[in-house]
Structure 1
Amino acid sequence: MPTTSVHTDPEELTMTLVAEFPVPVERLWGAFADARQLERFWGPPGFPATFTTFELRPGGRADYRMTSPQGERFLSLWRISEVDEPRRIVFEDLFSTEDGAVDESLPASETVLSFESVGSGSRVTVLTSFASSADLARMLEMGMLEGYEQAFGQLDTVLADLREYALGKGTVTDLVDETHVRITRAFDAPRHLLWRAHTEPELMRRWLLGPDGWEMTVCENDLVPGGSYRNAWAPVGDTEGEPFGFEGENLVVDPERRIVTTERMTGAPFPANTNDLQFDEADGVTLLTLLVTYPDQTQRDMILATGMTDGMETSYQRLEREVLPATA
């Protein structure tokens, strides 16, 4: 976790976050000055940001939305007043409506991003000021402090060279908490090819098979929010095992960026989990990040014990070997 401190000052009506990273200050600045990089961390896990306007200049404006796993959209805008590369960005942080107007019913704030070199790395200080104690209290109640911590916890990955950071490490599984698991896998391929491989049935049938000796017998997907999907597999030849399948609903479909679905095993008496799959590309390398939300720890542990991630890695190796070269 790169955050070194985060605190509020009720008397000064401020919230301050300080985070340090082992990269030059110019690299740290670049993560905030490029909308595509900013999108990868400006928003806690499960609520990624999408910038639709990004004018990083005095008098400029940045519009973005954060989308929950259930498809709820939270709209905001920045009115940028100062840009001093690579030292400082100042902006008014506002909530907005669907037509781009300021939402006056929600608190406004001013944010100052300050960048400096420290030792062999760099530091960013985020100072957010509010007009009243009521505004500060409301934003804390809405989870702003925790959101900042979670968002900046993702910045290490953005700053890293993905080729060095993730390629060759296979499928990596992290237990986030009792009900959340994060699974990552990097590919030496652009994300539009990975998106195709995850959404086109003729491609999915070629790689999404788990261990050898299985075939995908059903691959149906109405790939729109609210649409349903169903996948099924069966053993081939002498392979032991019983046919099985998964089904669910698409909650978020953001082409080449994100798919959020519910997932339940067909016919099983278990509640559904939620899968949030995101596609991030940097310099031709695509990092897949799957955040799985389980109903409880018991179901999480039961599913992980099936060897799910080993099966995923076998499928991903097949994807690299048989599908990506043919679609490039």
Structure 2
Amino acid sequence: MSEAAPDPGVPVTATISLGADIEHPVAAVWNAFADTGQRVRWGVPEGEEMVCDIDEFRPGGSIRARCGSPGALEFVSTGQYCALVTERHIVTTETLTRDDEILSTAIITWTLTATSTGTRVELVDQVVSFVGQGMIDGHRNGHDICLRQLGEFLNS
């Protein structure tokens, strides 16, 4: 008996846990996230672009960014900073849309821990995709790239 194909109308959920060791102090890692100008440089995959329209970096503050292909910026990310503790953690919500269609919504937690060589960054993304497994894979791949690029950005 063959396995049934997934129902395209059913939300797909996942908890994505990733981490990276970055050879810079917690303060430098925190500042690279807190400063919008720095974050837009490391926060999207190479060859893509992000423009932050709203970035109220405080508990309860709003986030709105457009991202995607340079010039097109076909995706819109909106959300809120739920909790911020300086140099410790950031918890955000994010809803991703394209042409007013909701693609996914997520709760994302970044945790920063000082280590003997710098900072351990842990990222947990609790995501619901309304367009199938590909969006879950996109979240995982995008976060993996962001963590790598954060370290590279701080090394440059």
TM superposition score category, shorter chain reference: 0.7 to 0.9
1:255 corresponds to? 86
1:291 corresponds to? 124
Structure-to-structure mapping, 1:1-328, within 5 angstroms: 179-210=14-45, 212-218=46-52, 220-236=54-70, 243-266=74-97, 267-269=100-102, 272-295=105-128, 301-306=133-138, 308-321=139-152, 323-325=153-155
SS of aligned partner of 2:120? strand
Cα deviation, residue 291, structure 1: 1.6
Deviations 1:105-147 (A, max 9, x none): xxxxxxxxxxxxxxxxxxxxxxxxxxxxxxxxxxxxxxxxxxx
| Alignment CA distance shift 1:294-1:208 (3 Å) | closer
| Distance in 2 of aligned mates of 1:320 and 1:204 | 12
**Amino acid corresponding to residue 218 of structure 1 in structure 2:** C
| Distance in 1 of aligned mates of 2:149 and 2:48 | 13
| Alignment CA distance shift 1:299-1:276 (3 Å) | farther
CA contact (8 A) 2:36 2:52 kept: no
SS of aligned partner of 2:44? coil
Cα deviation, residue 261, structure 1: 1.0
- Structure whose residues are more often strand by fraction: 2
CA contact (8 A) 1:232 1:245 kept: yes
2:9 corresponds to? none
Deviations 1:71-103 (A, max 9, x none): xxxxxxxxxxxxxxxxxxxxxxxxxxxxxxxxx
CA contact (8 A) 2:26 2:114 kept: yes
**Amino acid corresponding to residue 154 of structure 2 in structure 1:** L
| Alignment CA distance shift 1:269-1:251 (3 Å) | same
| Alignment CA distance shift 1:320-1:291 (3 Å) | closer
Query: Unmatched 5+ residue regions in structure 1?
Result: 1-177
| Distance in 2 of aligned mates of 1:185 and 1:227 | 26
CA root-mean-square deviation: 2.7
Q: Which has the higher contact order (CA 8 A, sep 6+)?
A: 2
Runs of 4+ residues over 4 Å off in structure 1: none
| Alignment CA distance shift 1:217-1:260 (3 Å) | same
Worse-matched range after superposition: 309-318 or 261-270: 309-318
| Distance in 1 of aligned mates of 2:121 and 2:79 | 20
| Alignment CA distance shift 1:207-1:220 (3 Å) | same
Query: Unmatched 5+ residue regions in structure 2?
Result: 1-12
- Number of aligned residue pairs: give it: 142
Cα deviation, residue 184, structure 1: 1.4
Cα deviation, residue 272, structure 1: 2.7
| Distance in 2 of aligned mates of 1:214 and 1:299 | 21
Identical-residue share of aligned pairs (%): 20
**Amino acid corresponding to residue 268 of structure 1 in structure 2:** E
**Amino acid corresponding to residue 28 of structure 2 in structure 1:** L
Q: Rg bigger for which structure? A: 1
Cα deviation, residue 295, structure 1: 4.4
TM superposition score normalised by structure 1 = 0.38
| Distance in 2 of aligned mates of 1:309 and 1:197 | 21
CA contact (8 A) 2:47 2:69 kept: yes
SS of aligned partner of 2:101? coil
CA contact (8 A) 1:256 1:279 kept: yes
Cα deviation, residue 290, structure 1: 1.4
| Alignment CA distance shift 1:191-1:311 (3 Å) | same
